[in-house]
Chain A
Amino acid sequence: MLTTLAIIFIATGVFFFTTATIGLIRFPDFYCRMQATGKGDTLGALLSLAGLALYYLNNGFSLPTILISIKVMFIAIFIFIANPTATHAITKSGLECGVKPWTKEGIQK
């Protein structure tokens, strides 16, 4: 049961990582790429690490295994807070340095 749940979580996380990578390669400009990686990587990392934490609980519900799962969830929470902030910082400094956004006519000079 736990293994099935872990597989579902990790597969969903890998799906979001894949969409983030495709967005990073295929989107036209800086801002679209930043939003693709910012959102996709955050959710992908959260789901993958949650799946790993669930999978480790297969070794039995004792104190050491639960502690290791809690440590993994701390990493997930850290990424969940820090990654959108880093994306925001990079995007904002790009805007202030004068990176032009993409429109239908292409990037405005």
Chain B
Amino acid sequence: MINRFENIIIQTISRLLIPPIQLYALYVIAHGHYSPGGGFQGGCILGASFILMVIAYDIKETKRMISEKINTIFISLGVIIYSGIGAVCLILGADYLDYGILNKIFSVSPAKARALGTFGVEIGVGITVMAVMVSIFLNLVSGGEHEEAQE
């Protein structure tokens, strides 16, 4: 009996395609303020690459790469990056998420500091969205067991 979860064609193609998908996700996050895309979209693509890994291999193999503990830490880390950048702006004397004031730290012009602040916030959003996507998919597909997909 052939195991439904082990297919050499699908596994080989997934191994070939997952790194370009993750690279493209980083491209979408990093170019969010020049072109269509941004933190949420890039995070969704990054989460989709892990979901493809779950589909092609199995849940245990994926949890060896990104365990439940690290996943939960990522969910909180993104929110901390987002609110931390906002709080730094607040501490420096401007409004919440008013990145122009960050030029006191980075010694660049206010416009450049605004672009950098937006980029940092989008990295935080991307990390959180990726981790939440993987978490929701794992919980849905295994009924909360995290052992193997249910029939």
Q: Do these two chains really belong together in a complex?
A: yes
Q: Which residues of A contact B16 (CB under 8 A)?
A: 81
- Cα–Cα distance between A85 and B10 once the two chains are bound (Å): 6
| Cα distance A42–B149 in the bound complex, in angstroms | 30
Interface status of A105 (Cβ within 8 A of chain B): no
| Interface hit among A1-9, A24-32, A89-97 | A89-97
- Contact-residue size bin, chain B (C-beta under 8 Å from the other chain): under 10
Q: Is the CB of A81 within 8 A of B2?
A: no
Contact of B13 with A81 in the complex, beta carbons under 8 Å: yes
A98 vs B121: C-alpha distance when bound (angstroms): 49
Complex CA gap A81/B20 in Å reads 12
Q: Which of A81, A88, A92, A96 contacts B17, CB < 8 Å?
A: A81
Instruction: Please name the residue on chain B nearest to A96 by beta carbon.
Output: B4
Q: Roughly how many angstroms separate A85 CA and B20 CA in the complex, as a whole number?
A: 16
Count of A-B contacts with CB under 8 A? Answer: 18
Contacts of A88 in B (CB 8 A): 9-10
For A93, list chain B residues within 8 Å (CB). 4
Which residues from A are CB-within-8-Å of B20?
Answer: 78
How many residues on A have C-beta within 8 angstroms of the other chain's C-beta atoms?
A: 9
Residue interface bits A71-103, CB-to-B below 8 A is 1, else 0? 000000010011001001100110010000000
B7 interface contact, C-beta 8 A: yes
CB of B10 within 8 A of CB of A89, answer yes
Question: Do B4 and A82 have beta carbons less than 8 Å apart?
Answer: no
Q: Which residues of B contact A89 (CB under 8 A)?
A: 7, 10
- Chain A residue at minimum C-beta to C-beta distance from B7: A92
Whether B13 and A85, one on each chain, are in contact in the complex, defined by CB atoms closer than 8 angstroms, is yes
Q: What are 11 residue pairs bridging A and B, where the CB atoms are less than 8 Å apart in the complex?
A: A78-B17, A78-B20, A81-B13, A81-B16, A82-B17, A85-B9, A85-B13, A88-B9, A89-B7, A89-B10, A92-B7
Q: What residues of chain A have their CB less than 8 Å away from a CB belonging to chain B?
A: 78, 81-82, 85, 88-89, 92-93, 96
